[in-house]
Each structure stands twice: as C-alpha cells, then as structure tokens.
Amino acid sequence: MRIISHRIILDTLILPLSVIFDLPLAIYDRHVITLILSTKHIDMNSSTRIACVMVGLPARGKTYIAQKVCRYLQWLSVSTKVFNVGNYRRKLHGAHQMHSFFDPHNTEGESARKEAALEALKDMIKWFLEEDGTVAIFDATNSTRERRCMIIDYCKKYDVQVMFIESICQDESLILQNIMDVKLSSPDYKDMDPEKAAEDFRARISHYEEAYETLNEMKNESDYTYAKLINVGSQVMINMIQGYLQSRIVYYLMNLHILPRNIFFSRHGESVYNLEGKIGGDSKLSPRGRKYALALPELIKANLGDQPLTVWTSTLKRTIETAKHLQYPKLQWKALDELDAGVCDGMTYEEIEAKYPEDYFNRDEDKFNYRYRGGEVIISI
C-alpha cells in the first residue's frame, strides 16, 4: 500500500472537510457514496448492536484507531461511542499508578483493572439499551484470552455482537514515537519527569508482554470475529466478518493511515464563467486564471521543495488546466466536480432570480437555505 506524503486538491469538495482527511481513496467514488446512503439504513433500523473490542499491547495505536473508527462511523450516521477502560481505571483507582500496578502477578492490581473493565462494560450495555446505540468501541488492552472470553460472555447476555480489532506493531521506532508523543502526556504521568515516565511506561509494557496472548494464537478463538492490523496496517488479517457494518469497519481499517499526512488545497484559477458571473458549466480558464496556473508550480516548489506530491483534480476543464503545469502524478475524480446546478447550469444569479422568483434565496443572506432550496426545488437530481 503506497502512502502519499502530500496532496493537492483542486476545486470544491462535496464532502465535509471535517472528515476528508480520514476517508479511504475509494469512498470518493459516487457509486460508493450512493451505496452507503442507500444501504446503511439496513443496520440503523434493526436491533444491530456491535461491540468493537480493541486488543493489543500499550503504545500500539489502539486508542487512535478507536477514535478514528468512531469518527468514521459517526460520519456514516451510525450511533457510535468509545468506552476507554483507562479512564474508568483512573476514576476508580487514581491516575498515578506505577508500573507494578500492571504486573500480572499483582493480584490487587489485576482485581482493580478487572473492576474498571466491568464498569466500562456496564456503561456500554446501558448505552446500548437506553440510548439505542449501534456500535460501541471498547478501548483497552484486552490482551488475554480470559479477558476476551469474559467480554464475549458478558455481551452475549444482551445480544451484542463482538468484533475484536487487534493492533500488532513490531516496529520499535513507531512504538517509541507513540510513547514520546502520546503516552507521556497522559494523566498517568502528569508532572512527572519525562525520562522517568518513559522508563516506567516501558516497564508497564513488559508486564503486559508477559501475559499477552494474541488473538487465536492457539487456534482456540477461530470462531471469534476479528481483524488484525500488523505494523500500521501493512498486513491485515480478518476472520468471521459478518454483515454490512462489520464490513464497513474492516474496509476503513484496511485504508487507515496512522502516520501523519499533509493535504494542501488550491482553488482553480479564475474561469470564463467566473468573469461572466455564471454558475456551473465546464468553462476554461480566463487569461488571469492561466497566469495563476503558471504561478502555482513555483509557489509549491518554494514551500515544499522536491517533496513527492500527488495532485487530485475534478474532471472539469478549469481544474485540469490549473494543474497543467504541475509536474507530478495526477488523478481525476468526478466526485470532486462542482455540485450540479441542474436547470440553472450556465445561468447568472440574476437570471435565476428572474426565472424562479418564488424559489430564489439570496445566497449571501442565507447560504444554508439557499443550498437547501436549490437542492430541493431548482436542482435536478
């Protein structure tokens, strides 16, 4: 799987910017979006309840993955919530627990951690029953067969499907980076010397490694539904995936980027229709727009140097011409085309107001209802 470090997107996006950074490549395709909108209600209108149970050693990106999956499902209008067992443990037993608290031979610590897990499970079930939740993400290490069996048995009582998501990482540099970037800033190590905190956290990891049992290691969990992500998704193993929502989650996990990426946005250069005040259409760039296209490569080089880029444009002439002089690989996606103006395509706002006076909303006064009314009455779907 190729990771592109930088991207430029030309023209208006038809997806919310709050989620554009997380979406897998293929989801931009119109047919995929249509599929989501038309089929997601199968699960939404049923009694489907899924507990996504994270599995893995500390500093393997479990919480990051949990938050990303939650955000993605919420974008699909799926009622989703994360239950972080670490927060329950801190609430019940305090934040400043040293590594010995996590020693598998520490029966008192083991009992306290199990108590936190049960409290989180109770709240999760309560959320399913009282708030009509659909997907809960149970964020903890859940690193032993015994703990996973306990979760399965508990969820079965309430007819909740369980899907395990295990994150395995053998790249020491990534683990160290996660420790330094995330773990040392957690409440567990507040006001603690960074070196001592890092030493304590490594000792905590060693305790978990002593008892860690990866999913289906002894072939005794082959009937579990699970997805294993190995080394930041470079390899993905799945087992017993069932139904639409579980499939969507796996699809997202297979396309999830954990490493940081930069995305740069550029408007297309001024078009002929811009000059004429017309909406829609597929006009070419104006002379000033062509000057912008000529200046864009130098602007990028001055700020990014020789860093690799991939350029995304819509299929419209004005964006393709804007990217013409960029010496990078280019992709054209129809999903990036401007929203279809329907019967108003090629008209000015004055012409629209004159032709459809009852349906016209002043764009500057009320952009939300302008778009809404345009989509409901004027725009041809």
The Cα–Cα gap between 62 and 140 comes to 8
The Cα–Cα gap between 6 and 18 comes to 18
- Buried b / exposed e across 209-229, counting CB within 10 Å, b at 16+? eebbbebbeeeebeebbbbbb
Catalytic-residue membership of 358: no
What sections of the chain are H helices per DSSP?
Answer: 17-20, 30-39, 41-44, 62-75, 85-93, 107-131, 145-156, 172-181, 194-211, 243-254, 272-276, 287-304, 317-322, 349-355, 367-373
Catalytic-residue membership of 22: no
Selecting among 11, 43, 221, 338, the annotated active-site residue is 338
Selecting among 103, 139, 166, 221, the annotated active-site residue is 139
| Placement of tokens 């080394």 in the chain | 231
DSSP for 270-324?
Answer: PBHHHHHTB-SS---B-HHHHHHHHHHHHHHHHHHTT---EEEE-SSHHHHHHTT
Catalytic-residue membership of 105: no
Selecting among 166, 268, 270, 321, the annotated active-site residue is 268
- Buried b / exposed e across 274-288, counting CB within 10 Å, b at 16+? beeebbbbebebbee
| Contact residues for 380 (Cβ-Cβ < 8 A; gap 6+) | 340, 342, 343
State the catalytic residues: 139, 268, 338
